[in-house]
Amino acid sequence: MGELLIIFVWLMLKHTIADYLLQRPWNDKGIYGSRGGIIHAAHHVVGAFIVLMFYVSFPLAVLLSVLDGICHYHIDYAKNNIKRIFDLKSTQTLYWGLHGLDQYLHVLTYVLIIWLIGV
């Protein structure tokens, strides 16, 4: 259990770096297949692989990292489209509720990864 918790902490650090330090003001993440969305998801794939390669086999690290990137891409894609459809602005409570839900779903992705490792 201790090692799984450590992996989770590393994945959360990776998430903070990719979502906040490497994030760019891409305005195209609501367009499926857009460059910005793919680059952002790739940051998550690479970061997850760097974390996971120390704890699981190479093929599993690749698989789980790609899973992270696919989940991250689609969560962000949905969030950006919801923001666009409802014309949400950062001054609105619903905007921040959606941001919180987005982050919660990303955390659940890491819970899934940890669960898959522990199975």
Contacts of 94 (CB under 8 A, 6+ apart): 86, 88
Q: State the helix-helix crossing angle for 58-85 and 93-118, rounded to 10 degrees.
A: 160
Q: Give the lowest-confidence range in 24-33, 56-65, 89-98, 100-109.
A: 24-33
Q: What is the pLDDT of residues 65-80, one digit of tens each?
A: 999 999 999 999 999 9
Token pair belonging to 50: 């760097």
The answer to whether 65 touches 106, Cβ cutoff 8 Å, is no
Cα dihedral 31/32/36/39 (nearest 10): 170
Q: What is the pLDDT of residues 48-57, one digit of tens each?
A: 999 999 999 9
Q: What percent of the chain has pLDDT over 90?
A: 92
Region 30-34 average pLDDT = 93
The answer to whether 79 touches 102, Cβ cutoff 8 Å, is yes
